[in-house]
Amino acid sequence: MTALQDRAGTKATDRTKAKKISPWLVVVAGAIIVVALTYTLPPFRTYQLATVGAYLCVTAGLTVLTGLNGQLSLGHGALMATGAYTLALWQNKFNLLPVGILVAVLVTTAVGAVIGLAAARLRGPYLAGLTLAVAVVVPSITSTFDETFNSDQGLSVMLNPPPESMTNEQWQAWLCWGGALVTVLVLALLTRGRFGRDMKAVRDDETAARLAGISVARTQVAAFVVSAACAGLAGALFAVIAQSVSPGAFPLTLSLFLLMAIVIGGLGRLSGALIGAVLLVALPAVAHEIGEAAGSQRLEGNLALTFFGVVLVVVMLAAPGGLASLRVPFTKSIPFKKKGH
């Protein structure tokens, strides 16, 4: 077919929108599953479920930043610490949890905006270096201002007891998954529209993105701010689960774990963020059990990182797009119905 024939004879194109699962539907289904699980799982597993929910907040934000916008952050553990300490300070003064969570998100968003402004001027290893510095510096601030943050001991978090109709673990799971599902919904709606396209365009070709009318710096800062807000929420939820915060809970390895988790799960996919969040809870738990069986605490400490490294290598070899890119085999056998023109 020649170009001219091609132009003259353009076929009537099916303009119906590509079918995608509604994020609202996913969130409702997720809420039903979580509620069901909290009534069936034993307390420790329910606690782990709550932890997965808290991790999902940060992995979802990070996968949007790194996977869709191409900004590598090694400092999201520090942003979680910001949210956690803000919540602890708020609760110990006012003991009003919903407002405390909101304040934690706002403070972390503000910190993220400052880092994002600097990050928008940096690329590749320089951006990684900046965020790495944040991951190192933020926990050390607790030692510098020990009257406020109580140094390495950290702060306990004042919380009201959960409603009488539910256990503490159920309440934690509902709270964390409430936050996680809202995060996923907001991110899904954001990334499906113009903001999502702008982020991908900036990731793929900055020059072409500029010429398409996109402010690259504004898009990058916005992506960092959104991602920081998610990390702040995750940090606040962790403070609630642990009922304490300390710098030891947010080491540099946490930031590395977060990054590895989203890569293993599938960069840029919210389903990949969920897989990553599950791995963040499951792999250290397996390492803990192996360490206990071997009777070595040192082994337990290093085993989780080893596990992540091995899983990362294996997944990258088998599925470079991450676990979320894998398709269940039986879906291929479903016949594809062609729409008539």
Q: What is the DSSP secondary structure assignment for residue 65, as one 8-state letter?
A: I
CB of 275 to other proteins, least distance (A): 20
Identify the DSSP state of 74: S
Q: How far is the CB of 265 from other proteins (least distance, A)?
A: 17
Q: Is residue 32 involved in binding other proteins (CB under 8 A)? A: no
For residues 274, 276, 277 and 283, what is the CA-based torsion angle, rounded to 10 degrees?
140
| Residue 53 or 266 having the CB closest to other proteins | 266
Residue 25 makes contact with other proteins by CB under 8 A:
no
Q: Count the residues of the shown chain that bind other proteins, applying the rule CB under 8 A.
A: 29
Give the SS3 label for residue 214.
coil
For other proteins, the binding residues in 167-196 under the rule CB under 8 A are: 194
Give Cα 62 to chain centroid, integer Å.
5
String of DSSP letters for 103-127? HHHHHHHHHHHHHHHHHTT--HHHH
159 binds other proteins (CB under 8 A): no
Single out the residue of 7, 20, 298, 339 in contact with other proteins (rule: CB under 8 A): 7
Closer Cβ to other proteins, 23 or 83, answer by number: 23
Range 206-225, binding other proteins (CB under 8 A): 207-216
Segment near other proteins (CB under 8 A); pick from 5-13, 24-32, 35-43, 93-101: 5-13
DSSP 140-196: HHHHHTHHHH-GGG-EE---PPPPTTS-HHHHHHHHHHHHHHHHHHHHHHHHHSHHH
User: Min. distance of Cβ 13 from other proteins in angstroms?
Assistant: 4
Nearer to other proteins, 6 or 289 (CB): 6
Please say which residue, 298 or 341, places its beta carbon nearer to other proteins. Answer: 341
Pick between residue 223 and residue 240 the one whose CB is nearest to other proteins: 223
Strands, DSSP E only, in the chain? 155-156, 244-245
Q: Which is nearer to other proteins, 45 or 210 (CB)?
A: 210
In the range 241-270, which residues lie near other proteins by CB under 8 A?
A: 268
Interface with other proteins (CB under 8 A)? 2-4, 6-7, 10-11, 13, 15, 18, 194, 197-198, 200-201, 203-205, 207-216, 268
